[in-house]
Structure 1
Amino acid sequence: MNDEIETPENSPKDRKFVEALGRGLEVLRAFTHGSVVRGNQDIARITGLPKATVSRLTYTLTQLGYLSYNQDLEKYQLDSGVLALGYAYVSNLRVRQLGKPFMDEFARRTNTTVGLTCRDRLSMIYVESCRPPEVASLRMEAGVRLPLTTTAAGRAYLAATPENERAHLLSQIARKVGDEWPALEASLNDSFREYEEFGFCLSLGEWDRNVNAAGVPLRLADGSIMALTCGAPSFQLPIEKLKDSLAHQLLMLARDIESLGV
């Protein structure tokens, strides 16, 4: 099942919505689901689009330079046109440009990996990651996707999101995870209470059993929300140190970046 979120903006009933364009972008999104190469049948399964429609869209996207076709595998992969768009977004992101020196210093001082993330549907995506040169573990490059529900980044984002939008996202998550939802909902509610009390959210092995992390929301001047995280392998970062010290420092880091007017 894909993680498409239905909104008034992409509803077929919206006369301003260009369905053909939307379908083409759904084809590109299919390449964020694990494998880097996809055949038309794979893409049709992921997107729910008819295979004939997918064939026309992959052909068009290949002609435009957003996909390339591997003759040996008889499958498609993303091409440089997508990279150019992604690079343009990341390189022009002002919060990334101004916040990186602060993040670098925090990572060096705390010996943790520090990340700046934004939401994409039911995932959080790294747009910047900083870590000390001597730290070889927990390497998180720009573009890495994280689940919204079990990571410190996702929980911090959800906790800071306006209630009506959060409810909409949670309903999408509930439909996606099915029987797992009651336990996941209880865990999220604990995290939201943690945020109300301390201003940060923790992920203590829920995303990766070997990783402890903290997350705080970052509110930008335009009203949008991102999330800052810091984390490390659990054997290097005890829960007490994270909760009693580093998470509070991360919250101050977010305030410092917000004060730049990004």
Structure 2
Amino acid sequence: MNEELETLKETLPGKDRKFVEALSRGLDVLRAFSQGAVVMGNQDIARITGLPKPTVSRMTYTLTKLGYLSYSPQLEKYQLDSGVLALGYAYVSNLRVRQLAKPYLDEFARTTNTSVGLTCRDRLSMIYVENCRPAETTSLRMDVGVRLPLATTAAGRAYLAAMKEEERSHVIAALKDRHPENWDELEAGLARSFDDYATHGFCLSLGDWDRNVNAAGVPLFLQDGTLMALTCGAPSYLVSEEKVKNQLAHQLAMLARDVERLGV
């Protein structure tokens, strides 16, 4: 069973009469395509989700009929269809904080010569909903929809640091289950990040996610209670660890406060 697909379920009460299991399974099938493969057969999806293959077959048939998946007879495999795109576009285009924050992110990217992004959490990942970078920069391109791991990225660490303790403990337990082979290293990195956040108000990822990338992250608190994260980063040959620690991270924290003052 894929632990990331089960994270939210683990936080639910044992018996929740309002919880529709069939709908949950259908969404798990769609989420399976976020694991990296563009096209998958029912057997691939069953392996990723842990669902029985007959259940997967019914789900993929239904999702194809509804326009969320398309089927290739030649490959005998499925891929995401335009119905999913429409939902994602509706979310991003109507995200008010993205619309209001974009000029601020553009200016930050231009003046710091870094890639700066607005991210939200999806289970054990952070997802870019906006990314701005200088026009002349070709490296560290992070398009909308790109996923980042929670434990090793600045955005993920900042989000975790700002979460309520009870919810964070559930997520960290899921991370531990998903990464047993290197959990000690990941846990140490998270502990350092939580200390940084408590002391400075930001988190760092200095080669932890990608050994060639230095980045900072800060949480973003919206008025409706939504928690997001801002992150900025660049290749290490362009931005040193010292610059990230002593300059960019502090500037990013100020950017977050500016965005929060927009009243979103």
For this structure pair, what is the TM-score category when the shorter chain's length is used for normalisation? over 0.9
Q: Does 80-89 or 176-185 show the bigger shift?
A: 176-185
Which residue pairs with 1:57 in the alignment?
59
* Structure 2: stretches of 5+ with no match in the other structure: none
Preserved CA contact (<8 Å) 2:114 2:232: yes
Give the TM-score normalised by the residue count of structure 1: 0.97
Q: Once superposed, what is the RMSD of the aligned Cα atoms?
A: 1.2
Aligned match of 2:171 in 169, 172, 197? 169
Which residue pairs with 2:252 in the alignment?
250
Q: Which amino acid aligns with 1:121?
A: R
- Give the C-alpha shift of residue 178 in structure 1: 1.2
Which runs of 4 or more aligned residues in structure 1 lie more than 3 Å from their structure 2 counterparts after TM superposition?
6-12
**Sequence identity of aligned pairs in percent?**
71
d(CA) in 2 for partners of 1:250, 1:8: 34
* Structure 1: stretches of 5+ with no match in the other structure: none
d(CA) in 1 for partners of 2:44, 2:254: 45
d(CA) in 2 for partners of 1:10, 1:76: 30
Distance 1:44-1:7 versus aligned 2 partners, 3 A rule: closer
Which residue pairs with 1:37 in the alignment?
39
Q: Which amino acid aligns with 1:32?
A: S
Which residue pairs with 1:72 in the alignment?
74
Aligned match of 1:109 in 99, 108, 111? 111
Q: Does 172-181 or 157-166 show the bigger shift?
A: 172-181
Preserved CA contact (<8 Å) 1:216 1:254: yes
d(CA) in 1 for partners of 2:118, 2:16: 33
Preserved CA contact (<8 Å) 1:122 1:173: yes
Preserved CA contact (<8 Å) 1:12 1:19: no
Matched, 1:19 2:21: yes
Aligned match of 1:147 in 145, 149, 153? 149
Aligned match of 1:180 in 179, 182, 186? 182
- Give the C-alpha shift of residue 127 in structure 1: 0.3
- Give the C-alpha shift of residue 19 in structure 1: 1.1
SS of corresponding position for 2:231: strand
- Give the C-alpha shift of residue 2 in structure 1: 3.9
- Give the C-alpha shift of residue 241 in structure 1: 1.0
Aligned residues: 262
